Structure 1
Amino acid sequence: MNREMYETILNMPDFMEKALKELKLNGEVPLEIDGIAFFGMGGSGIAGRIVSEWLNYEWGVNVYSYNEITIPRNLSRNTLITLISYSGNTEETLMAAKNAINGGYKVAVISSGGRLIEIAMEKNLPHIIIPRIFSQPRESLPYLFTAAVKMLMETKLIGNVQLNQLNDCIETLYNVKKGLNTNNIPKILAEKVYSKIISIFTYTPLTPAAIRFKQSLNENSKVMAKVEVIPEACHNAIMEWEENPEILKNIAMIIIREDVMKERLIEISINTLKEIALQRGATVEELHASGSNVLSNILSAIYIGDLVSIELANIKGIEARRINLIDYLKGKIRSSIYM
């Protein structure tokens, strides 16, 4: 039913490899950049969150990610405010662009067109244009993410070492793709969590994978899902299980994790959470990240999670690309702002 979207997601490594070769910066990045802050919403904004988590955690680079309209005051004027919107017409991102420009910040743009690219051209802002070949912004992640990395390379905040990790990540995704021919993990996982409310548990630095998984389950599968991050979840979230044992029977707990845990405390926490959830009748499953570095871990988990969301939509017999309520809400916002 959702074959075209499934194939688009399945070709994630192919799109990333193509984007790495084809995407070019238009204009020049300003000098003396000491950090970069990505602003975007939903399926566009998650690209900045992935880059931020990867480079902060593994390399200590000053990269920030916001799903906001206003520009936080802690950002210096040497931070490159980079607006990401696949359509180029996302109202919140356009407002962030206006606030950044009026605030005297250095600004860059990543988009496929729309008003955002028009602003970039009018203001002579550095920008990367990605091809308008996707039906929904969330399908364009391989291009948006790769464009974000290319923008960072132009600022000289990262270099060949990080580029090598990106190439390793693409190779990891190809290996995962090949493995799906013999072990259809997405379909198996979707069948196990069908008809459940999904509670996703993970830990830093895999948080972007959990957030993206929730977004994909919400938009593609039209199911209720939430994200809990360990160890914080161990100090509050588990208490909702104590007085509501009947509800847990309708919950599917999916843990996004590495094969080999680096932190013993996190591993103990995961095992204990699984024990408690199983004792109370919840369904418990794991989604294992692949690869030898943080970026590969994050994107391999996203890759499987996106495919799970399409398989779940197929089981439910619904159109994954349909987002009627989001379209209605966006229409209300536009009509109210421009009336």
Structure 2
Amino acid sequence: MINVLFAGHPTRWPEYQIPLRDAFAKAGLSVDLRTDHAADQVDYIVYAPNSPLQDFTPYTRTKAVLNLWAGVEAIVGNPTLTQPLARMVDFGLRQGMVEWVTGHVLRHHLDIDFDLEHQDGSWTRHIPKLARDRKVTVLGMGELGSACATALATLGFDVTGYSRSPKSHPGIRCLHGADGLDQALTGAEIVVLLLPKTPATENTLNARTLSLLAPGAAIINPGRGPLIDDDALLAALKTGQVSRATLDVFRIEPLPKDHPYWAHPRVTVTPHIASETRPETASEVIAENVRRSEAGQPLLYLVDRALGY
């Protein structure tokens, strides 16, 4: 019998209980899934960083901590966490992000907001570029970023991808490193941020890097709030260097009611909904990782502690 502790936020247990049990059974695993296993009897922990469990020291038998979120920045630095940590990458998370990003890229590409702002009886026509003539840069070419970049390239956009380490994807110009970041941003008309949150990525978009964009560029951030210097973005919106921004993530969440983003006519705020872990598909990934571990195979999506993701 494999003892699995569900240590996500307590409110999520009713949503995950049945999908997890079904996934374990489908994988042929004999699992005792609970929220109250004795710490020294736990083989695997299904985890979310907003869990009450923050001290991993008693979990001496635990073979792996399996995160329910794609982001691990809130847990990877925990000094008590010595067990292997796997992040969540699943179809539902990936597909949700692709749909959200594609929708907002098309919104800015077609300048749908222009049409909404001119519903005043005047026959004001504007003809958008074709996708092949629109330069889109995706910052972050991990699982989510590469999926979004591929979808946008399939639609015909001129896509450049940027990552900290070298990557290669068919139909996408891939750049990396400090020089690569500047090249990726120079002349970009739409920028999608999907980098992880690390000390090295904080304020990736700042006054200097925003100045590299094509005048009137659009910013789309479903990644992490600290990737953007908020004051620099507001200043760029004021000058018109950035024409619009769609922001799903923020340094403080929920976004404070008095934050200038709420009332800004060129900013769209969405409440961290770009992509959500879905119990049915996430449970399949959790079960597969337990199966792999029990078979002596390497875990999927293992976090590199040195890199922070």
TM-score range, shorter chain: 0.3 to 0.5
Q: Which structure dedicates a bigger proportion of its chain to helix? A: 1
Q: TM-score, normalised by structure 2?
A: 0.36
Larger Rg: 2
